[in-house]
Amino acid sequence: MFECQSVKLDESPDFGGFVKVISNDMTIYGIVFNICTMSEDITRKPVAFGLTEEELRRQQPQIFELMHTYFKVLIIGYKKEGYRGILPPRPAKIHSFVYDCEREDLIDISKDLNFLKNILNGQTGIEEELVASVIRNLSKVVLEKDCYMITVGKELIRLLKNDFDRFLTIKRMCKI
């Protein structure tokens, strides 16, 4: 897992979106699972002024200089001579740039379902929602959506064989 800061306030990849970092002669892939906007100073909480964003920008422009948008990324694999759905041998370098994945990246990722186990065994607190979001996102880029959804459904049944309620929750969220 790694944490990123958006260059612009309130601009981040979507929840469940796929991102990549090119670092150490490889491309590291991950899934966005936590997005927040907060003050640079963690001891200061935002205060509700009861103003629209435009009014606040006019009256208190410094607020927007002190706030930043952050997002966390769950690492799911890397590419060095081909995609591998396992943790990379080295973490990304600090200050590496994070990019949205391209369609070709998503197709590679969709062929290796190891990311499902990584998410389900994670400590995000929102594993079911994240799995469903990821499945919905990948189903938009695969060539044979119905076949892919069946394959994903079978893998989820295998991974959640002792937790049918959890499987049903995910199934409902992504309509498998």
d(CA 127, CA 63): 33
Nearest-10 Cα torsion for 176, 15, 129, 92: 100
Whole-structure pTM value:
0.89
Sequence-ordered strand ranges (E) for 40-137 = 67-79, 83-84, 98-100
Provide CB contacts within 8 A for 170, sequence distance 6+.
Answer: 128, 131, 132, 135, 156, 160, 176
For residues 125 and 89, the model is more confident at: 89
Residue 133: pLDDT over 80: yes
What is the residue-averaged pLDDT of the chain? 93
Say if residue 63 is exposed, middle or buried (CB neighbours under 10 Å; 0-12, 13-18, 19+): middle
Handedness of CA 71, 75, 76, 79 (dihedral sign): positive
- Which tens digits make up the pLDDT trace of 90-107? 999 999 999 999 999 999
Q: Would the pLDDT of 66 be above 90? A: no
Residues 130 and 124: beta-carbon distance below 8 Å: yes
Indicate if the pLDDT at residue 36 is higher than 80. yes
Q: Over 80: is that where the pLDDT of 42 sits?
A: no
Instruction: Give the residue, 176 or 19, on which the prediction is more confident.
Output: 19
Distances (CA, A) of 22 to 25, 30, 102: 7, 12, 13
